[in-house]
Amino acid sequence: MTAETYLVILIAGFSLMVILTLILGDIDLGFISVMELGNFITLFGLFGYLGTEHTDYGKTAVTVIAVILAALVAVILQVFIFKPLMRSENSITLRDNDLEGSEGRVITSIPEDGFGEILIERKTGNVFRSAKSQDGSPVDFDEIVQIIKIEQGCAVVKKQRK
């Protein structure tokens, strides 16, 4: 293959990866995803182009080396960069069960058998939740409460002992 052919493969692989990922997201094709396939094609084009332009190896040797390097670098990128980034993508997302056991402060009084609002101060920011008392008793403004559980987005709380 010529250098121009590898350049077209590089551009096509990158374009394919970007367009499909933007339009359809990262689709899993079974044993490989669109992102992985696009990375491999792009890297193959890159290494083939560089091998053709900057070495004296024959076409077959450049192609074989480009395939090996592209596969190696694509696996390294996937294992050490893309997978960890995907896992950490939602790491600061707060789930309801993360709040259970937390302390909060009442910012809207909770009437007897009614609902109020609490503020939970977290390192990642403040969280506001509607709240009701576990035993149905009223809870005054500015009291400290402990979240027992979350029911349908509402915190069930009990007063903290002083």
In this structure, what token pair is assigned to residue 73? 């670098």
Which tens digit of pLDDT belongs to each residue from 102-129?
A: 899 999 999 999 999 999 988 778 888 9
Q: Which of 17-21, 115-119, 158-162 has the highest mean pLDDT?
A: 115-119
Q: Can you tell me the distance from the alpha carbon of 40 to that of 126, in angstroms, rounded to the nearest whole number?
A: 43
Q: Are residues 78 and 21 in the same domain?
A: yes
Q: With cut-offs at 50, 70 and 90, classify the pLDDT of residue 26.
A: low
pLDDT of residue 70: 95
Q: What residue numbers bound the domain in which 10 lies?
A: 3-88
Phi-psi region of 151 (alpha: psi -120 to 50; beta: other; left: phi over 0): beta
Average pLDDT in the 136-141 region?
92
pLDDT of residue 57: 92
pLDDT of residue 32: 78
Q: Are residues 77 and 8 in the same domain?
A: yes
Q: How far is CA 16 from CA 44, 47, 55, 81, in A?
A: 14, 18, 28, 20
Higher pLDDT, 34 or 154: 154
Q: Which of 55, 88, 121 is the last residue in one of the domains? A: 88
Q: Are residues 23 and 81 in the same domain?
A: yes
| DSSP codes joined into one string, 7-60 | HHHHHHHHHHHHHHHHHH-S-B-SSSBHHHHHHHHHHHHHHHHHHHHH----HH
Q: Are residues 33 and 104 in the same domain?
A: no
Q: Are residues 83 and 7 in the same domain?
A: yes
How many structural domains does the chain have? 2
pLDDT of residue 156: 93
Q: Are residues 102 and 79 in the same domain?
A: no
Which tens digit of pLDDT belongs to each residue from 32-66?
A: 777 888 899 999 999 999 999 999 999 999 999 99
pLDDT of residue 89: 54
pLDDT of residue 88: 64
Q: Are residues 7 and 84 in the same domain?
A: yes
pLDDT of residue 37: 86
pLDDT of residue 81: 86
We report the CATH number of the domain holding residue 150 as: 2.40.50.140
Q: Which of 47, 64, 88 is the last residue in one of the domains? A: 88
Higher pLDDT, 153 or 106: 106
Which tens digit of pLDDT belongs to each residue from 72-93?
A: 999 999 888 877 877 765 555 5
Q: Are residues 53 and 127 in the same domain?
A: no
